[in-house]
Amino acid sequence: MMAQVGGGDLVERLPHALLLDILSMLDVESLCSAAPVCRALRSSVSQVLSSLSTLDLSGFTPTTQILNRVLSNSYGLRSLTLNCHQLDYSSVSIFTKQHLEELVLLKGFHFISSIFRQIGQSCLNLRTLSLELVYGDESVFVRNCNKSLENMFKGCPHLESLSIKFYTPYNLHGRSDTIQLLLPKTLKALLLQPVTNWEATTLILMNQLGFVENLPLSIDVQPSCLMLQSLTLVLDVITDELVAAITNYLHYLTVLCLEDNPLEKLSPYNDFSNAGLQLLSSRKNLRRLSLSRSRPNVFGRVTDIGILVLTEGLRGLESIRLEGFSKVTDAGYISILQSFKNLKRFEVINGYLLSDLAFHDLSFLSGSLVEVVLISCHLLTSETAESLSLCKNLELLDLGGCKSIADRGLNSISILRKLTSLDLSGADITDSGLSALGLGRSPIVTLCLRGCRRVGDRGFKKLFKKGSVITETLSKLDLGYLPGVSDETVARIVKMCREITNLCIRSCFFVTDASIRALGLMPDIEGRRRSIKRLDIYGCSRLSSDSIELFSHPYFQGLRWLGFGKTKLHAQEGVRMMELLSKRRCMSTCSYGCEMDCKDGWFLH
C-alpha cells in the first residue's frame, strides 16, 4: 500500500537512525511485513533482525525462502525458536548457526534423523536443543538416530538440555531397535517422548554402570556420572523398577516428570505402587514432581499411605502434579497441602475422590500458591473456589470439568487481583456469574468458558462493559459449545476487548457471516492496530459458503491459524478455501477439529 501511494519514497527520506528506532519497536511478523515496501525498509529491517539475540518464530510457519531472508545476517542470534511445518531438511543449514546457544524446532515433520549430525557439525556452542520429529522408517530409524545423536554429542561439548519428541504411529513394543544413548556429562535436563519403560531403565543403568546384563549394546559405553537435574519421560508404563533406577542413580534430580498411558491392563507386579512413592521420598532435592496416567487407566495400587510417606520425605517440594490416582482421598491431598510449605503449583487431574474438604484450611499456603489446576474433579463445588480466593497471589486457576462450580464460586474468584488465567469449562455458571467477573479486578489474559451452557449474550454484555478490567487485558478467549452465543457477543468482543488475539467459537450455532466480517476488520483502538491471530470456527454451521470471501484481502491480515472443519467453508468450498489460503504462506489451517494450533495431537497437516 505504501509503495502504491509513494509511501516508499517518503520512508527513504527519513533519517536512518530514526527509522531503526521505529522498527526496533515492532515484532518479527510486522518487520517481515514491512521489509518488501521499499529498499530503505528492507535494509533497515535486515539490520534490526541482525541485532536480535533472541528470535521466536513459533507464531507462524515461515517457508525456506522467508527464513533465509530473516536469518541471513543474524550473527548475534543466541536463541532461536522455529515452527518447522513448512521446512524440510534442505533448510537445516539456514538455521544451524555456530553462535546459537538455544535451538527449539517445533513440528519438524519433514526432517530426517541425520538432522542431529548436522546440528553437531554447525552449532558448536549449543547448550539447549528441543526438537519435535516424525518417527521414520521403523527398521532403521532408531539405529540412525542413535548414531546421529552420538555425533551430535561430540560436536556440542556444552550441551546442557536435550528434549526430543517423536511422533510415531507404531507400537513401541514392536520396534526391533532400541534407543541407546551415551549421554554427555554436561547434560542437566533430558526429555524423551515416547520411550518404553525398559528403554528408560536401560538408559540410566547403561550410562551409570557402563553395562546392562543380557543387553547387546551397539555403542561403546563407559560408566559415567550423570549430573541430570531434570528428567521428563513419556512412557508406555511407569513401574517401581524404573523409579528404583532413577532414585538409586540420579542423585541430583530436582525435577522429575513421568507420564504413561498403558495399552493393556497391568500386572500387579509390573506397575507403580506405594513402594515407588516411598523410593521417591528419599530424593530430598526434588522441587517439582509430576506423575500422570491418562484415562481410562489409573494408578490402582497407590493409596493415601503412599502419599503420606511421600510428604514426610519431600518437604521442599514446590510443584506437584498427580493424574489418575483413583484411590487417593482427601486425607492424602490434605497431607500435601499442609506439608509442603513452599508449594507454588498444585495440580490434580481426574481426582476421583478429591472433595471440598481438602481445601477447608489453606492458611499454610495462602501466600505461596501461584497456580492451581483441578481438572475433572467432579466432587468439587463452589466451596473450593471460595477457599482458593484466600490465595491472594494466585495467577492461574484451572477448574475445567468441575461441573458443580457455580456463580457463588465465580463471585469469590473475581476478587483475585493477580489472576491472569482462568478456566471454568463445563462449570454451572450463569449470566449473573459473568456479571460478577466483569465487576472484579482480575487482570485476566486467558479465559475459557467452553461448555458453560447457561451463559449467553446477556452475560457477555455484562462481562465486557466499559470500565471492566478484563476488557483491557483479555487476549485469549474460548467460547466453544455455547448455544447462547450469537453475533451480538462477537460484535461486543470486537468493540470492547483491546488485546484480543485468539478466539474460539467452535460449535456456536448462532454465529453467522456477520461475526466473521467483524473479526476480519477489527477497528483500531486509540490508533493501535488490532488483529485476530488464531480463530477456531469449527462446527459453526450457520456460516455460509459466501463467507469464504471474508478470508481474502483485506480481511484477517494477522491471521496465523484457522480451524474451519464441519462448516460450509470445508464441506462446499474446501478446494477453493485451500487455494485462497495457499496465498497466505505464513498461515496454518486445520479441518480436523484440532484444538488451537493443533496442540492436542501430532497431525501431519
- Going along the chain from its start, the domains and CATH numbers come out as 475-605 (3.80.10.10)
Residue of 332 and 30 predicted with greater confidence = 332
pLDDT digits (tens, 9 = 90+) for 400-446: 999 999 999 999 999 999 999 999 999 999 999 999 999 999 999 99
Q: Are 395 and 421 in contact (CB under 8 A)?
A: yes
Whole-number Å distance between alpha carbons of 300 and 533? 43
Q: What is the pTM of this model?
A: 0.91
- Confidence band of 180 (pLDDT split at 50, 70, 90): confident
Beta-strand runs (E) in 114-267: 128-134, 161-167, 189-195, 230-235, 255-260
What are the cell numbers at 364? Answer: 499454610
pLDDT exceeds cutoff 60 at 220: no
Q: What pLDDT, on the 0 to 100 scale, is given for residue 3?
A: 40
| Cβ pair 537, 511 in contact under 8 A | yes
As a whole-number percent, the residues of the chain with pLDDT over 70 amount to 91
8 A C-beta contact, residue 312 and residue 286: no
Place 605 in a pLDDT band, splitting at 50, 70 and 90.
Answer: low
The residue among 481 and 136 whose pLDDT is bigger is 481
Q: What is the pLDDT of the chain when averaged over all its residues?
A: 89
Q: How far apart are CA 440 and CA 445, in angstroms?
A: 14
Give the integer Cα–Cα distance in Å for 414 and 389: 8
Residue type for 109, please?
A: F
- Average the pLDDT over each of 320-334, 469-483, 545-559 and give the range with the smallest value: 545-559
User: Which amino acid is residue 275, in one-letter code?
Assistant: A
d(CA 480, CA 450) in angstroms, rounded, equals: 5
